[in-house]
Amino acid sequence: MKAMRKAGILCVILFAVCALSGPAGGNNQPLTVSGGEPVTYVCANGDRLVARYYSLSDESLRFVKILFPDGREYTLPQVISGSGARYTDDGELLWWIKGDEARAEIRDENGEWKELCGECRVLP
């Protein structure tokens, strides 16, 4: 019983030390957001979209804010992609980019992805 009590106290002490020591690696720098320069895309249907790409200073998150011609704005996190970069909330909008090309897809009433703006290219 005495050994279990000592082990319990030791566990509490170790937990407290770990909790007070901060994150692994000792990096206590505050996170900052970089990026945000506007990139204008012109799509095959004539729409002009403005995307602003951001990332956190520790590179743990990249995201895009997209402004559509009708005033709708979406903020989407970057997710895993086999080619190019893919941003989605997995609910309503999907934004794909590869080089200077991009496309937007939106979910229809059946939950299937359909093209919203295709063949978009960076405006020179």
Are 88 and 94 within 8 A, CB to CB? Answer: yes
The CATH number of the domain covering residues in 33-122: 2.40.128.200
Per-residue pLDDT tens over the stretch 13-72: 444 434 444 455 556 789 999 999 999 999 999 999 999 999 999 999 999 999 999 999
Cα separation, 52 vs 85, in Å, equals 14
- Listed in sequence order, the residues at least 6 apart from 99 whose beta carbon sits closer than 8 Å to its beta carbon are 84
pTM of model > 0.85: no
From CA 76, how far away is CA 61, in angstroms rounded?
11
pLDDT digits (tens, 9 = 90+) for 72-112: 999 999 999 888 999 999 889 999 999 999 999 999 999 99
Q: Where are the domains of the chain?
A: 33-122
